[in-house]
Structures are given as C-alpha cells and as structure tokens.
Amino acid sequence: MNVLQTGSIKTTCPYCGVGCGVLASMDEQGVVSVKGDPDHPANYGRLCSKGTALGETAYLQDRLLYPEIKGEQVSWDQALSTISGRFSEIIDEHGADAVAFYVSGQLLTEDYYVANKLMKGFIGSANIDTNSRLCMSSAVAAYKRAFGEDCVPCSFEDLDKANLIVLTGSNAAWCHPILFQQIVRAKKANPKLKVINIDPRETQTTSAADIQLSLKPGTDAVLFNGLLNYLKELDIENNFFTENCTSGIDGALQAAKESAPSIASVAEQCALSEEDVSEFYNLFANTEKVVTVFSQGINQSSSGVDKGNAIINCHLFTGRIGRPGMGPFSFTGQPNAMGGREVGGLANQLAAHMDLENPEHCDRVQRFWNSPTIANKQGLKAVDLFEAIDQGKVKAVWIMATNPVVSMPDAEKVKAALKKCELVIVSDCVRETDTAKVADILLPALTWGENDGTVTNSDRHISRRRSFLTAPGQAKADWDIITEVAHRMGFAEHFPYASAADIFREHAALSAFENDDKANAHRFFNISELQNITNQEYETFPIKPWPITAESPAGTKRLFSNGKFNTPDGKARFISVTPRAPAFSTTKEFDLVLNTGRVRDHWHTMTRTGVSPRLSAHIHEPFVEVNPLDAAQYGLTDRSLARINGPLEKSVIVRVQYSDKQQRGSIFLPIHWNGQFSSRANVGALIPSVVDPISGQPESKHGIVNIEPYVGNWHGFILSNNSTNLDLGFAKYWVKSRGRGFWRYEMAGYHCGPNWAAFSKELLGTISEDEWIEYFDKSNHTYRAAQFRGSKLINIIFIGPNEKLPPRDWLISLFQKEEISISERMSLLSGKPPADQEDAGKTVCACFNVGEKTILKAINEKGLTTPEQIGECLQAGTNCGSCLPELRGILASNTFASA
Ligand SMILES: Nc1nc2c(c(=O)[nH]1)N[C@H]1C(S)=C(S)[C@@H](COP(=O)(O)OP(=O)(O)OC[C@H]3O[C@@H](n4cnc5c(=O)[nH]c(N)nc54)[C@H](O)[C@@H]3O)O[C@H]1N2
Ligand SMILES: Nc1nc2c(c(=O)[nH]1)N[C@H]1C(S)=C(S)[C@@H](COP(=O)(O)OP(=O)(O)OC[C@H]3O[C@@H](n4cnc5c(=O)[nH]c(N)nc54)[C@H](O)[C@@H]3O)O[C@H]1N2
Ligand code: SF4
Ligand SMILES: [Mo]
C-alpha cells in the first residue's frame, strides 16, 4: 500500500456515530498512525480504543482486491457489464421490483445518494433498504411522527449543559465512548448534574449513573407514560409551549393515565421499586435541563416507535426541546446513519427528507433528477426484502457495506434465501465474510483511509472522510462502482460524476430545491449553502451541523428553537402510546429472555476489528452473560461452555460468564462473532424476525431461548504464529482471535478420535528441521506440544479432558519473543511461567497492553485507590479512557475482596 500524501490528513473515524475527528498518516515504512483531531467538535482530540487502533486495521491482509464472478477473478468491465446486463434482463422480464439494493449506514453520503437515485429515479423501484432498518429506523419514525420530519434536535454540547441526563437502552460507555466520557467530565464539572441509566442489566454505563433502573425488559413505554402522567399530576406542564407549539396532548395524557396510572402501577409493571421510580420522576419533574438519550434498547423493539414517542412526549409536555441542555436525543450507531437518512436511503423515504407517498415530493424529485420514472410507493423493508428474496419475488440483490447473513434476524433463513437467489452481488472491502460466501459477484470497495466523501454524525455534523492511502489492488469507491453500473444501464448523462464532490453538490442542491417556507415545501434538511461548493472548498470543508443555509452559513446547533415544526400546522405532535409487550413471552420450553448487543472493542461482524490484535485482546471469545443464580439452576459453571437454543431450531455455543449485573430470567449475548471467527456464535440465528409495524425494525433485544451446559469430551487451545485460518471443522466448538504475533484458537468437541500427536502435525504443518516438545497421556486425553523452528516458537497446542487448562496469558507473551530461553522451554508444557517471570493476566487496557493481574498487583503493592493513580503507575486508561469503567470495577472488587 502506498501513501498518497505526506504529513497527516484530517478525516473522520469510520466506526460509531460520534464521528470523531482523526489525524491520520502513513510513514515511509508503511506504518499507519492515527491520533484524535484536537480541533474537532465531537472529540477535541480524544479517541476511544477502536479509534486509537485504526492503524492496525488499515493493512491489506484479508482484503478483497479484484472483482470476482463465482470465485474467479474477472475484469471490472466484465463484472459491471454482467451486473447491468442481468439487472436489465430481470427488470424487463419481471419488472423493477424484482431487483433490490441492500445498503448500509457505513456508506458515505455520496455513495448512498447515487445508489438511492439509481434505484428510485431510474430503475423505478423503492427496493433499496439499509442495515439502518435494524439500527435506528424506529427513532426516525418517532421523530417523524412528532416533528413531521426526521430531525435530531440536540447537539453534543447539550450533554455539557444539562442538569439531568437520562440514558435509556444505551450502553454509551462501550458504544459511544467519547460521549460517555464527555458525560463523566460534565459530572465532574457540574456537581448538580445527575445521570440515570435505564437498562435491564447493569453495564459499564452504570458506573456514571446516580440511579440505575434495571427494568423488566421491554417496559420502557410504561415507564415514560408513567412519567408523563406524573408530570401532569404535578402540573409541570409548559403551558405556553403545549398550547402554541403542540397538538394531540389530550389523547397522549389519556393513554398515559390508562396504562401507567400511578407510581405503584409503573413499579409493578416494570419490576422496579417504587422508591427508584419516584426518584427518577422527581428528578425529571424538578430539572429543567434534561437530555434523554435513547439507543437500541428502545429502537430494536416491536414497539420501538411508540417507545421513542413516549420519550418525546415528556419533552414536549415540559417544552424541553430546542433549548440548550435539553431534548430527546437518539444516539445513532453507524458513522453515516444520518447521511443515509438525508439521502432517503430507507425503502420508505424518497430523498432530501421528502416522502415517497407524497405526489408533490415525487414530482419535485423527478423534475430535479430529470429522471424517466420515480418510485411512488414504499419498497420492501429489510425483513420483507429478504423474505421476498426467499420467495423468489426479488431475483437480484446488490448488497453494499453490510453483512446481513450475520446481522439480520433469522439469519440462517437469510443465508438460505441468498443461496437460492438468482443473482447476489456483494460490494465489500473484505474478501471473506459470511455474506460474501453466498455471493455470485464480489466487488472490491475502497474503505476508510482510501475513500473520499462526507458523513453525518449523531448531532447532524457533516464532516469529511479523506483518503491518505492509494486504492489497493483494483478496489474502487462505492459511488464509482454504482455510477459505472448506471452508465451501463443507459443512464450515463444522469450520472455524470467524476468525483465525490460532484455528487455532494447535487445532493446539496436537491436539499435546497423548492425548499421554501410555503406549507408543504419547507424541509429542515437544507444545505443550500453548499450547493456551489468548489472542489477546493470541498477538500477543505471543515465540519458543520445542518441546516447550512444563507441565514446560518456556519450551520445550526439546535433545531426547533423557535417552536416551529414541519407539520401542516407547524406544531409538534403528541402521540398517544398504549404500551405493548414484546412479541414473544417466555414459555416453559424457552424460559429465558435473550438480550443482544455490543462489546467495547469489537465492531459488528468483526471484519475490521477482528484483525486488530489490540482490539481482540479485550474479549477474545463469544460469551453469554448469566446471573449466577440462573446459572446454578441450569447447571452451568463460570467459564464453562453452554448451548443456547431458540425457537427457530438454531443454537449457539459460547462461554458462560457469571454476572450479577444481569437480572434473573434474561441472558445477554454479544452480536459480533460469526462464521469467520467461530463455529456457532451467530446470534442472528436465534432472533425471530418480528418487527415494529411502523418502522419495520426487528426486535433484536428480545428473543426467547433456553440454555444448557455444553459438555465436550475434550477441550483445547492452539496458539499459532502462522496459521491464520486453521480448518477446525473437527471441533464442535471453536473460536479464533488475533493477537500480536499469533492467532489463538479455543476448541472443544465430543469425539476424542484424533491421535493428537499425529493430527497436530498434520493440522499445523511441520518440516523436517522443526523441533517438537510434547507430552502425551493417552489415559486421560491429554496432549501438550510446542513446535519450534530454529529458536522461534511456531505453535502451541494443549488438549485436555475438561476446561481446566492453564491460563493462556503467559504462553501468549512468548510469541512476542525472538528467542525462548531454556527455562521458558522447560516450563512451557506446564503452561506456567518460570519462577522469575510474571503473568500479566487478561488485557484490560488495550492501548498500552496492560493486564488485569499487573493492575491488581500494582493496586495491592502500591495501595492505589483511583483510576488516575493506576494511570500514573502503569499508563492504563490514560489514552482513550475506554477501560476507565473497568479500572473502577477492578478497584471496587479489590476493595471488596480485601475488606
Ligand atoms: N464497541 C462498539 N460500539 C458501537 C458498535 C459496535 O458494534 N461496537 N456499533 C454502533 C452501532 S451501529 C450502534 S446501533 C450503537 C448501539 O449502541 P447501544 O444501543 O448503546 O448498544 P447495544 O449494546 O446494542 O444496546 C444498548 C443496551 O440496550 C439494553 N436493552 C436491552 N433491552 C432493553 C430494554 O427493554 N430497555 C432498555 N432501556 N434497555 C434495553 C441492553 O442491555 C444494552 O446494554 O453502537 C455503536 N457503537
Ligand atoms: N441480534 C442483533 N442483531 C443486530 C443488532 C443487535 O443489536 N442485535 N444490531 C443491528 C445494528 S444496530 C446494526 S447497525 C447491524 C450491523 O450489521 P452489519 O452492517 O451487517 O455489520 P458490519 O460488520 O458493520 O458490516 C459492514 C460490512 O461492510 C464492509 N465495509 C466496511 N467499509 C466498507 C466500505 O467503505 N465499502 C463497502 N462496500 N464495504 C465496507 C465491512 O467489511 C463489513 O463486511 O447489525 C444489526 N443486527
Ligand atoms: S467514539 Fe470511538 S468509535 Fe466512535 S467515532 Fe469516536 S473514536 Fe470512533
Ligand atoms: Mo446500528
């Protein structure tokens, strides 16, 4: 890979919706380094662990480097002509709705704009949906119902100005770490600031909370309806605001009263104590500056839209919107979830915040695009789209920047549907993904570091993604690939783009097109000021929140400050919410609620974070969080394996992790592990495809399952410095993770068939000069071996009859050594360091590679009592700060243990 320019460039982190500014560069040795951009308003120089490790993910291993058809390398021309030819044939024969795009909040705005334009204005179908359907489509629908337009009213700055922050369904400490740290700092600076965390389980986010409300899963609408009712009873209404700026209040109050008439009723329905509920309600009632943050615990629900509106209702009732330090704030997940919303990338939107089902809007967009046709009815939303593929109604699908075989609910069915589908095209930057495996055509896309364009973060700031690396292999920008297909389908004159800037200008011009104050024409999404941006200005574009117009050329921090909304009467709407239970309740057979979500250092399906040793060190194995009392009931032990079975007749096998922070009756599974990294950990296969009737967002936080111990006859691990992709099909359970200088494989199985000594050599490969040191005890299925090539350690394999194998941390540290000493060789097969060496334990601080045992030792020997002292002593926690909640946890449990 070559560096495109010297010195560092300003770009934006490709992970979460905080959209942190990054300064990135590559040195002459090809080493990519990143640091936080001190001038960027989202992060002011800070980066979390994922942002800090970006350099480790910018290399070429595992990349898709050239187009392929059915596994054979082809030229771009062949690939693109095949796609346009097959699309055109299918459309001619079966109509425009027989083809579809399934895109992603990880595309840049320009990519997204072109994909949406091609499908809705030229192919003439609205069958373009996106993984944002699984992510924040409920928040979109809730905002739209309340404000008439999908607008996030707040600014990150409001977190500093608030006196109460209510987080619900958000594990910001791990998922929006820079915002979480902003909240922690705001608390230090403002002792009046209180934080409430609403989540069925305690998470790292709880560490900043004054009150943790571990409510019964799925009951948030009751809690917020109860709050509305309470505010009404206390007469905390902002009468001026409700009278002049809102409609529908009576219905909402009535519905709130009926469903949540008293604190006692709320406490009972949500399984909370009356004291906790009343403390929360009191704080909300008595604090003017309140920000309510909501995320997937709200959105990923079969009543997610209503839950969003139950939250917004409380802000409308108190008029706490459009002013500093207040508002209902959906934290978006993906780096460009918001850009996708602006271009209308969902199957039920048009473009530039216009509606598919509004004939005036369709006419306006068609005139602007000068297009032969325009979709005028909603297309298929993600779950329905894959259902239509399964039924053969959609015959060709082009998947861009998403991995639905892992991330969709009922994921095995999605896989089967794609296998049957006539034509599956996948544009990705990575060669091997579970979705790429079922594709007919693979298209190599540029990714972070290489592509150019814009993204919009959670608080509407548009910022630039800039390239500093040249295109690897034959990879192309996503917009370029789509444009080429549009040309070949006969639409060349309508897609005259030579650069991302060309597309951005058109996107900005559409936002301004007939966007005036006349009723039915005004849209808040307006970046008219950027429609004539020159290439040079685009190159240096700073970062601004939309709307960006002649009146507000520097952008607009907060929306609705004048109390005007985008509804026909200009008023915000209260929505009457009647809470509904999740679609599935537990049964005798499936007696546990399945909650799913994220871990700190992995990103979704791990295609990028899974190649980073630093990020893989934090949690290297898929796990299930179980309350110890439940675990005892089901015969599970901590760190043993368990099988989790769901009603779709699929199961996963993962490691048990005791957690008293997990309420009884629920378990939590992380979403990240998939077929590339483990045998059976794809949680999508356990989640039925039940959706919210308005948004179509799946209920990914509430499956039903049962759990049982998985007792293998043998257990083992391999640490290997050269085997990147061992075929472990013989093991019922396997998982792989990357470390610095090695790959780690954990395994278990039923049949102790192999003669391990011979089998290991076959599996790992050996040459005549290799030296093996081995220990084999056939009577109890124990085999331990280390393979050396010269003085270099190549492989370690340990097999035993049960899970009681030595800790891996010291063995792992040997892979960082050029030479293994005699005493180390002698100790190796015991798995324990020689007397003069120490074991650092599991990595806690990914930035400085500091282990738990090292931290505990320093705490005890030096009497450390604060994370700051740990930082001074070991550096842990002093860079990105993502491990600070864990450092606090270690300090707390150590105090507890030594008390
Ligand atoms: N490290 C990391 N960060 C990420 C991502 C990642 O993959 N890894 N992905 C990004 C993306 S795309 C997204 S969408 C965001 C998601 O960010 P978050 O929404 O914060 O993350 P999740 O872990 O999906 O879920 C949040 C919490 O919802 C809780 N929850 C479950 N059921 C309920 C309920 O009934 N009520 C309430 N109140 N809470 C409930 C879960 O216990 C969980 O702790 O993260 C973004 N940031
Ligand atoms: N059970 C359960 N399921 C869930 C969730 C949950 O909480 N629980 N969360 C849902 C949510 S919120 C989300 S956002 C989804 C995420 O799920 P996915 O979108 O399926 O996950 P990613 O791994 O982010 O997939 C992105 C793909 O794009 C590729 N890529 C990266 N950069 C580029 C690029 O520039 N161009 C192209 N063409 N490709 C690129 C990556 O290699 C990767 O294969 O999962 C959803 N599924
Ligand atoms: S919080 Fe972390 S992952 Fe999110 S944008 Fe910032 S550095 Fe990237
Ligand atoms: Mo997401």
Q: Name the helix (H) or strand (E) containing 25.
A: strand 21-26
Is the pLDDT at 9 greater than 60, yes or no?
A: yes
1 pLDDT band, cuts 50/70/90, is: very low
Atom nearest to 219 CA in ligand 1 = 35
The response to whether residue 198 sits with its C-beta less than 6 Å from ligand 1 reads yes
In a domain, 352, yes or no: yes
CA distances from 2 to 65, 116, 464, 539 (A): 15, 32, 21, 20
Cα 294 from Cα 167, distance rounded (Å): 6
Q: Are residues 357 and 490 in the same domain?
A: yes
CA dihedral of 105, 142, 264, 628, whole degrees rounded to 10: -10
Q: In this model, does residue 7 exceed pLDDT 70?
A: yes
Contact 851, 844 (CB under 8 A): yes
Give the count of beta carbons closer than 10 Å to the beta carbon of residue 838: 13
Q: Is the pLDDT of residue 473 over 50?
A: yes
807 Cα to the center of ligand 4, angstroms: 34
For 80, phi and psi rounded to 5 degrees? -70, -40
Q: What is the pLDDT of residue 786?
A: 96
Give the distance, in angstroms, between the CA of residue 281 and the centroid of all CA atoms in the same chain.
Answer: 31
Contacts of 188 (CB under 8 A, 6+ apart): none
In angstroms, the Cα distances linking 29 to 2, 6, 381 are: 10, 12, 46
DSSP state of 550: S
Which of the listed residues 709, 740, 769 is the one where a domain comes to its end?
A: 709
Q: Please give the distance, rounded to the nearest whole angstrom, from the Cα atom of residue 294 to the centre of ligand 3.
A: 18
Decide if pLDDT at 520 tops 70: no
Both 789 and 732 in one domain: the answer is yes
Whether 853 shows a pLDDT value over 90: the answer reads no
CATH number at residue 633: 2.40.40.20
The finding on whether 171 has its CB within 6 A of some atom of ligand 1 is yes
Q: Is residue 635 part of a domain?
A: yes
Nearest Cα to Cα of residue 561 among 339, 353, 327: 327
User: 882: pLDDT confidence band, cut at 50, 70 and 90?
Assistant: confident
For residue 897, the model assigns a pLDDT of 42
- 21 Cα: distance to centroid of ligand 3 (angstroms): 9
Evaluate whether residue 513 is within a structural domain: no
Instruction: Tell which one of 61, 111, 134, 648 to mutate to probe ligand 2, the residue whose CB is within 8 A of the most ligand atoms.
Output: 134
pTM equals 0.95
Point out the least confidently predicted range of 217-221, 372-376, 476-480, 882-886. Answer: 882-886
Residue 171, φ and ψ in degrees, nearest 5: -105, 65
What atom in ligand 2 is closest to the CA of residue 703? 1
Q: How far is the CA of 314 from the centre of ligand 1 (A)?
A: 22
Predicted local confidence at residue 899, as pLDDT: 37
- Each residue's pLDDT tens digit, 405-440: 999 999 999 999 999 999 999 999 999 999 999 999
Domain endpoint, select from 498, 514, 535: 498
Question: Residues 823, 724: one domain?
Answer: yes
If asked whether residues 358 and 483 sit together in one domain, one would say yes
642 CA to centre of ligand 4 in angstroms: 27
Structural domain containing residue 798: 714-828
Tell me: do 194 and 298 sit in the same domain. yes
**Index of the ligand 3 atom closest to the CA of residue 49:** 2
Mutate to test the pocket of ligand 3, among 44, 176, 882 (most ligand atoms within 8 A of CB): 176
3-state helix, strand, coil in the chain (%, to 5): 35, 20, 45
Tokens 């560490």, located at residue: 207
Asked if the structure places residue 810 within a domain, the reply is yes
Final residue in a domain of this structure, among 498, 522, 547 = 498
DSSP letters spanning 106-175 = TS-HHHHHHHHHIIIIII----EEEGGGGTTHHHHHHHHHHHSS------THHHHH-SEEEEES--HHHH
- 144 within a domain of the structure (yes/no): no
pLDDT tens-digit map of 67-96: 999 999 999 999 999 999 999 999 999 999
The answer as to whether 4 is a domain residue is no
pLDDT, one tens digit per residue, over 281-295 is 999 999 999 999 999
Tokens found for residue 790: 């010269």
Instruction: Tell whether 721 and 760 lie within a shared domain.
Output: yes
pLDDT band at 898 (very low <50, low <70, confident <90, very high): very low
CB within 8 Å of 839: residues ≥ 6 apart: 807, 809, 810, 813, 832, 833, 851, 853
Q: Which amino acid is at 501?
A: A
Q: DSSP code of 18?
A: T
Let me know whether 292 and 194 are in one domain. Answer: yes
Tell me, yes or no, whether 75 and 48 share the same domain: no
Same domain membership, residue 728 and residue 804: yes
The CATH number of the domain holding residue 44 is 3.30.200.210
Residues 6+ apart with CB under 8 A from 786: 772, 773, 774, 793, 795, 796, 825, 828, 829
| 573 part of a folded domain | no
d(CA 248, CA 95) in angstroms, rounded, equals: 42
- Give the Cα separation of 465 and 750 in Å (integer): 49
Asked if the peptide bond before residue 547 counts as cis, ω within 30 degrees of 0, the response is yes
Is 384 found in the same domain as 402? yes
- b/e per residue 665-698 (b: at least 16 CB within 10 A): bbbbbbbbbbbbbbbbbbbbbbbbbbbbebbbbb
Is the domain of 397 the same as that of 494? yes
Q: Total domain count for the chain?
A: 6
Among 524, 527, 523, which Cα is nearest to 454's? 527
CA distances from 155 to 105, 322, 380, 652 (A): 20, 10, 32, 40
Q: Is the beta carbon of 106 within 6 A of some atom in ligand 1?
A: no
Ligand 4 ion: residues within 5 Å (CB): 135, 333
pLDDT score for 30: 83
Instruction: Classify residue 364: in a domain, yes or no.
Output: yes
Q: What is the mean pLDDT of residues 247-261?
A: 98
User: 811, 804, 752: which is closest to 787 by C-alpha?
Assistant: 811
166 shares its domain with 300 = yes
Neighbours of 496 (CB within 10 A): 11
- Whole-number Å distance, alpha carbon 890 to ligand 2 midpoint, is 32
For residue 2, what are its two tokens?
């070559």
